[in-house]
Amino acid sequence: MKYFSDTELGCKHCGLLRLHPGFADALLELRESLAEPMTVTSACRCAVHNADLKGHERSLHVCDTPAHADKGQQGALAVDVATLDGAYRGRLFVAAWKRGWSIGWNSRLKFLHLDRRDLIGLPQTTFDY
């Protein structure tokens, strides 16, 4: 995919790469609107890798046994993007929010969690973790 490699988006445990329909297009639109590089630190996760990371049991990263299958989730709907400074984090936050992304952050961590939960009918939100 333009801007992002399969290795970057695939599961770090097994290499599985399955994105929910429309998610890749949304990610590309976000990247082009930001007009700056985006370093994805986590995207697709198999259920085993998500458990190893102590990821949320209903993580939108999970692409092999989606926790939201009942809502039609067919692959990963989330990425974590490295944010090395506050100015970049702010620009990414604004660009993502304007385009319908939900956003999670933690002031100790150097990334933003971005997901498109709206693609399966869940409301846009922000959260701290």
Q: How far is CA 35 from CA 29, 32, 109, 111, 122, in A?
A: 10, 5, 23, 18, 27
SS3 category, 42: strand
Question: Mean per-residue pLDDT for 37-64?
Answer: 96
What is the predicted pLDDT for the residue at 109?
83
For residue 93, give the amino acid letter.
Answer: F
Domains of the chain are 6-128 (3.30.1380.10)
pLDDT at 46 over 90: yes
Provide the token pair at 82: 């490295």
Supply the pLDDT for residue 112.
97
Q: Is 126 left (phi over 0), alpha (psi -120 to 50) or beta?
A: beta
Q: Is the pLDDT of residue 15 over 90?
A: yes
pLDDT tens for 83-119 read 989 999 999 999 999 999 999 998 788 999 999 999 9
With a pLDDT cut of 90, the percent of the chain lying above it is: 90
pLDDT of residue 67: 84
- Segment 8-36 shows an average pLDDT of 97
Q: Mean pLDDT over residues 7-21, rounded?
A: 97
Say how far apart CA 6 and CA 112 lie, in whole Å: 20
Which residue spans within the chain are E strands per DSSP?
A: 40-42, 78-82, 102-105, 111-115, 126-128
The length of the chain, given as a count of residues = 129
The whole-number average pLDDT for the span 50-66 is 93
User: Tokens standing for 60?
Assistant: 């939108």
Q: Coil, strand, or helix at residue 50?
A: helix
> What is the structure's pLDDT at 66?
83
Mean pLDDT of the residues in the chain: 96
